[in-house]
Amino acid sequence: MSANIQSILTQLGIENINPAYSTGNDWGGANNTENIDSFSPVDGQKIASIKVSSNNDYEQVIAKAQEAFVYWRTVPAPKRGEIVRQFGDALRKNKEALGTLVSYEMGKSLQEGYGEVQEMIDICDFAVGLSRQLYGLTMHSERPNHRMYEQWHPLGIVGIISAFNFPVAVWSWNAALAWVCGNVCIWKPSEKTPLTGIACQKIIAAVFKANDIPEGVSSLIIGDRIIGELMTNDGRVPLISATGSTRMGKAVAVAVGARLGKSLLELGGNNAIIISEHADLDMSLIGAVFGAVGTAGQRCTSTRRLIIHQSVYDTFVAKLVKAYAQLRIGNPLDQNNHVGPLIDKDAVNAYLDSIEKCKAEGGNFVVDGGVLEGEKYASGCYVKPCIAEVKNDYKIVQHETFAPILYLIKYTNLDEAIALQNGVPQGLSSAIMTLNLREAEQFLSYQGSDCGIANVNIGTSGAEIGGAFGGEKETGGGRESGSDAWRAYMRRQTNTINYANTLPLAQGIKFDL
């Protein structure tokens, strides 16, 4: 591990922390025997060994969270927002260090690491305003001298299970909103990126301590699938927000549903861009290439498929091939590089397996893939972004591979293109590149994209904090971040007040004694 990364850990105050869990400034589990090793896909070096939580650790975290909720829900929402504002300021001070650690532990480019921390800052800003806007409604009662309204109350403990590809941002989307809504949070970060989770917990714990907030409002628990299953099966955790694969999400939904809890799922994507005959091809190229190779294809919003009109197909594919030839693959901390590594060897194997399956089904690769070798690729996690001509109904095309494999599909008319776009099990992000107003409006209408996100002249990758983020079908149906996503973290209550001196019943029912 380089001296620069060591200094980053020192700057973040986590160079000597080896916890299994934290309920704030209380870091525990130092005597546990099981560890998770965090390796960087950038250079293959071990960054740290992190203790794994036990069942007893989990019970301590739950107990502390329950205790903290009793206090935290009494803090006025604008005051809760003020503390989240301070968290945003602390992130601003640590943006470079935390962004660098995100890049090194996960493997995304340094600019994307900084961008992820900026998303955290943005959601804090959003949550501060939201803390004064947790509005209910007033309705007219059918009974005289009655007032009827609804209000929103916090749920209690929000369990957050996050994925490696956005190791800190997605946690913050959930936590910032959950906190201002009056909830407490228990976070299980990905076992592939535990250090970034520890760094975030260190930052927020300092903010809570400065405001005399008790332990347990923000908790961190390190572990693998076993800890996740404890959370999802625990009736003391009314909401589980889980980000990851569709397979994982289905297991979470079954477990949480069996106890009639609530789940907020943000799962796989199989995102397509339609390249119209009326598209600005140069602008489309930027969106397509970044969408396909950004984060080495490991975003849930990564562009997996390009659906290209037959009249511009050859021209656009030629542009793509030329652009891919110019990609620089290497250390993501070097801002001259476009593409970093996959997260680990398992991801590399999945990438290679998908290429072979694509070829077996008849895919024609116009840009070949493969694993890069040499000293600068010593981690074994660097692969070549590749492009294949396919049919939409290939089994491998229907499947989400978390890697930079781009599939090309030809179409003849817009109805066909939309059917192809919608013809996969996932429904997260979608886009059309067109300068034709009618095409754009049809794509955004009920006749168009069936995804939770639909863009015009923007790629599939990336989202702004102000809009609700999530998708349909096997993407899970959950919504995080902006708009009214805050309602997922609260329970709705309808209230009726009778200020008359009689008790009339609803629907005109008479019950005379």
| DSSP, residue by residue, 75-143 | S-HHHHHHHHHHHHHHHHHTHHHHHHHHHHHH---HHHHHHHHHHHHHHHHHHHHHTT-----EE--SS
DSSP-derived secondary structure letter, 383: B
Buried b (16+ CB within 10 A) or exposed e, 154-164: bbbbbbbbbbb
Q: Are 303 and 295 in contact (CB under 8 A)?
A: no
* Cβ count near 168 (within 10 Å): 26
DSSP-derived secondary structure letter, 54: P
Please say if 474 is a catalytic residue: no
Q: Are 108 and 102 in contact (CB under 8 A)?
A: yes
Q: Which residue among 300, 358, 386, 451 is the active-site one?
A: 300
User: Cα dihedral sign for 140, 141, 144, 146?
Assistant: negative
Which three-class secondary structure string do you get for 222-279? CCCHHHHHHHHCCCCCCEEEEECCHHHHHHHHHHHHHCCCEEEEECCCCEEEEECCCC
Q: Which residue among 266, 400, 474, 480 is the active-site one?
A: 266
Query: SS3 helix, strand, coil % of the chain, rounded to 5?
Result: 40, 20, 40
Please say if 300 is a catalytic residue: yes
Catalytic residue positions, numbered: 266, 300
